[in-house]
Amino acid sequence: MRFIDYYKILGVDKNASESDIKKAYRKLARKYHPDLNPNDKEAEKKFKEINEANEVLSHPENRKKYDKYGKDWQHSEAFEEAQRQQQSQRGHYQSSSGRFTEEDFSDFFSSMFGGGGGFRGQSHGQPKFRGQDYNAELQLDLEDVYKTHKRTLTINGKNIRLTIPAGVRNGQIIRIKGYGGEGINGGPNGDLHIKFSINNQSKFKRDHNNLYTDVDLDLYTAILGGEIVINAFDGKLKLKVKPETQNGTKVKLKGKGFPVYKKYGEFGDLYVTFHVKTPTHLTDKEKALFEELAKLR
């Protein structure tokens, strides 16, 4: 297996902070995203490498293993388990100092994954090890998680078709069983853990399943009442305004909020706060009418 320098792929040094890695990944992911480079095989390959590098380096535990074990980092648990077993036996893979060295580590994987040696020759007695768990971050907009939809993720060069339920929360992590690293010696595969990072650039503020928004209201509608239309995630929404509505009035629209995660047909509420706008650039006639109104009051 050829060694892939994930730091080089992201263009950062080995001392880069988590923030530096995140910035580098986002910049490169935007540059090589398939949507921006249709039918470009080289860009597609680069995009896969960038995601693979980010998957490892953005996860502290994976990064620690990668820094220590290099290309074999995904099998570090198997090596450490074998190390513990051998320390209690005759020390077949121990160095004279009593500690495992990098050469011991290479010998261990050479014998286990193709190359002959003690472990390969004793396949019937080899312990089974669970594969490495993978961790990935999926960035979505708030509008994306208003409805259940499908996405294709590229993890370690493999495309995974994923159904994302409506109502997923920012920071939520879901587990997809068996989509992690391959098991060793017939052991089960690891799992894939996906963390959702949800950006909100809409005019709505989300609090659990409720939505909050501010709506400007002209003075005349606020005084006389009427009907206005606001844009919601599922289309246009008509809203009645009562006469003499005061600035800062808040109204609750039951069931017009955000969908409840994995509870089809259930929604939170929508809270609308009115901000009455005072008219400007009045004509002389309008000013006169307001003056007359002031006298009447």
Q: What is the mean pLDDT of the chain?
A: 80
**CATH topology for the 205-296 domain:** HSP40/DNAj peptide-binding domain (2.60.260)
Q: What is the dihedral sign for C-alpha 87, 90, 95, 96?
A: positive
Q: pLDDT of 233-269, one tens digit each?
A: 888 889 999 999 999 999 999 999 999 998 888 999 9
Among residues 222, 211, 163, 171, the alpha carbon closest in space to that of 195 is found at 171
Q: pLDDT of 262-285, one tens digit each?
A: 888 899 999 999 999 988 888 989
Q: Do domains 134-199 and 205-296 have the same CATH topology?
A: yes
Q: Kindly indicate whether the domain formed by 6-125 is annotated with CATH number 3.30.450.40.
A: no
Domain extents for the chain? 6-125, 134-199, 205-296
* Assigned superfamily of 134-199: Urease metallochaperone UreE, N-terminal domain (2.60.260.20)
Q: Residue 87's pLDDT is what? A: 56
Global pTM exceeds 0.85 = no
pLDDT bucket at 65, cuts 50 / 70 / 90:
confident
CA distance 183 to 78: 10
Give 159's strand partners: 154
Cβ partners under 8 Å of residue 110, min gap 6: 116, 117
Distances (CA, A) of 35 to 3, 32, 51, 137, 198: 29, 8, 15, 18, 20
CA distance 135 to 155: 9
Q: Residue 78's pLDDT is what? A: 65
Q: pLDDT of 67-113, one tens digit each?
A: 877 766 766 666 666 666 555 544 444 443 444 444 444 444 444 44
CA distance 137 to 192: 11
